[in-house]
Amino acid sequence: MVPQLEEVTVTRKYQITIPKKTRSKLGIEIGDKLLVKEEEGRIVIEIPERVTDPSAFLWNLSKKPMDIDVVKLVEESWSET
Q: Where are the domains of the chain?
A: 20-79
Within a 13 Å sphere around the CA of 48, how many CA atoms are in the beta-carbon half? 9
Please say whether the beta carbons of 36 and 44 come within 8 A.
Answer: yes
Distances (CA, A) of 15 to 3, 9, 63, 66: 23, 8, 39, 44
Query: What pTM, to 2 d.p., does this model score?
Result: 0.58
Nearest residue to 36 via CA among 57, 16, 9, 12: 16
Q: What are the tens digits of pLDDT across the range 5-47?
A: 899 999 999 999 999 999 999 999 999 999 999 999 999 999 9
DSSP state of 33: -
pLDDT for the residue numbered 81 = 60
